[in-house]
Structure 1
Amino acid sequence: MIETNGIHTAIVMPLVSPQKDWRADFPASDLPAANRPYTHVSVSWGEREVFLDTPTWADLSLPTAINAATGGDGLLHVAHYVRPAPSETARILRLRPAEYARLVRRIESQVVPPGTRTIHAGYEGWDVFYDAPGTYHLGNTCNQWTSDTLAAAGIKTGWWTPFAGGVMKWVPMR
């Protein structure tokens, strides 16, 4: 699935599939609510200060936004879900096995190995942040990351998708 909160997008994948077991990269033990029967993982990328200092969009300050737009460090946001359902904000995207394998490889390239990365507390008991490579700026936004990741898997997306709507328009509602 591709999910959005209207401003930010993320890629939701099975926690375990024939192509990938994400439990080694994103262990539930990193979460405060580690003992839930998680079935899916949501992965997104964004700017460190925005992620860590703005638990709600109302908390986003002008200086933080300006700093992010002009170049900030990357961070992965990983949320764990139990049987997520499709909705207006979480759309199913069906991939062929080869496409999904390319998607997995692209996301793996953004994962700093456990033991060598810093773990940052998430907003809830089921999410967490990890250090990630890359520099956030107006040409490389969180939504552009989602779009570029999908494009690397062979999924048709827009050329420049800095906003959530630019990503979601390529994912059909079912």
Structure 2
Amino acid sequence: MPPKIHPLRNGARLVGAAFAGLIGILLAYATAGMVGGALPSNGAWTEPESGIRIYVESNGVHTGIVLPQVGGGEDWRDLLRPEDLRDPRYARYSHVSIGWGDRTFYLETPTWADVKPLTILAAASGSERTVMHVDHVPEPRVDADVRSILLRPEEYRRLAAFIRASFRSENGQRPVHQFGYGPYDAFYDARGRYSAVQTCNAWTGDALRHAGVRVGVWTPFPVTVLGWFA
């Protein structure tokens, strides 16, 4: 007679195989992301000696693009208004930091300490419920989590057009908003589908790539964005 297979032992093997498979998928994803982030697009781009200064910042989870509220031929006050904030006085700051991502992932994970596996899995599986996150901030200082980039006027115009097109509007009406984490930020309805491929950091890379800046061909992680800039 063939030996009996104990159901608990067989179940443990299946769980172990599933866990090993999941680890393999995560390692493959991380490797692909780092390789994609290391391959350059717009390889001939060089930073000009003068131009419009923007910044790219990271909180370890999400990246954002920091722009002058007024400058370079753009005035963001027509879209991002003081009344969108819990405390409208923060709209007096000189700059806005703008990012894109999954609504639930953004709202529930302001820092790595707030990240939950189920939230990541739900977002990675794909979501049409995307938002723009906007902070009103003073001009940042360059440090380990902030990079400075100079853009030519035409590059800044392309960047601004890409960002504006990411805000969802209906019949020319400005996007719906809701208050953010604190008195200085807000969320707005966005266009686009979030997934494991199209992450908040991939959107940042897409925006810079559209402007003509040298950046990785795929930038799913914060390091794959910030690593391109001194």
TM-score (norm 1): 0.92
Q: Aligned with 1:133: secondary structure?
A: coil
The yes-or-no answer on 1:76 pairing with 2:149 is no
Q: Give the Cα–Cα distance (whole angstroms) in 2 for the partners of residues 32 and 152 of structure 1.
A: 33
Counterpart of 1:140 in structure 2 is: 198
Cα distance change of structure 1 residues 95 and 18 upon mapping to structure 2, 3 Å threshold: closer
Counterpart of 2:224 in structure 1 is: 166
Cα distance change of structure 1 residues 167 and 55 upon mapping to structure 2, 3 Å threshold: closer
Q: 1:115 Cα shift?
A: 4.7
Q: Give the Cα–Cα distance (whole angstroms) in 2 for the partners of residues 44 and 23 of structure 1.
A: 17
Counterpart of 1:25 in structure 2 is: 79
For 1:93-108, what aligned pairs fall within 5 Å after superposition? 93-108=149-164
TM-score (norm 2): 0.71
Counterpart of 2:89 in structure 1 is: 35
Gaps of 5+ in 2: 1-54
Choose 18-27 or 92-101, whichever is displaced more: 18-27
Counterpart of 1:149 in structure 2 is: 207
- Counterpart amino acid of 1:141? T
Q: Give the Cα–Cα distance (whole angstroms) in 2 for the partners of residues 104 and 135 of structure 1.
A: 20
Q: Give the Cα–Cα distance (whole angstroms) in 1 for the partners of residues 173 and 160 of structure 2.
A: 21
Greater radius of gyration (CA):
2
Deviations 1:3-50 (A, max 9, x none): 011222110000001421001111122111211321000000011111
Q: Aligned with 2:74: secondary structure?
A: coil
Counterpart of 2:114 in structure 1 is: 59
Q: Give the Cα–Cα distance (whole angstroms) in 2 for the partners of residues 19 and 112 of structure 1.
A: 22
Counterpart of 1:13 in structure 2 is: 67
Q: Aligned with 2:203: secondary structure?
A: helix
Cα distance change of structure 1 residues 33 and 140 upon mapping to structure 2, 3 Å threshold: same
Q: Give the Cα–Cα distance (whole angstroms) in 2 for the partners of residues 80 and 119 of structure 1.
A: 14
Q: Aligned with 1:137: secondary structure?
A: coil
- Counterpart amino acid of 1:130? Y
Q: Give the Cα–Cα distance (whole angstroms) in 2 for the partners of residues 83 and 139 of structure 1.
A: 31
Say which of 136, 143, 147 aligns to 1:91.
Answer: 147
Q: Aligned with 2:186: secondary structure?
A: strand
Q: What fraction of aligned residue pairs are identical, expressed as a percent?
A: 41
Counterpart of 1:110 in structure 2 is: 166
- Counterpart amino acid of 2:201? N
Counterpart of 1:48 in structure 2 is: 103
Q: Aligned with 1:76: secondary structure?
A: strand
Q: Aligned with 1:83: secondary structure?
A: coil
Q: Give the Cα–Cα distance (whole angstroms) in 2 for the partners of residues 168 and 55 of structure 1.
A: 19
The answer to whether the 8 A contact 1:141-1:162 is kept is: yes
Counterpart of 2:51 in structure 1 is: none
Q: Give the Cα–Cα distance (whole angstroms) in 1 for the partners of residues 139 and 203 of structure 2.
A: 25
Counterpart of 2:177 in structure 1 is: 119
Q: 1:116 Cα shift?
A: 5.1
The answer to whether the 8 A contact 1:41-1:79 is kept is: yes
- Counterpart amino acid of 2:94? T
Q: Give the Cα–Cα distance (whole angstroms) in 2 for the partners of residues 95 and 165 of structure 1.
A: 21
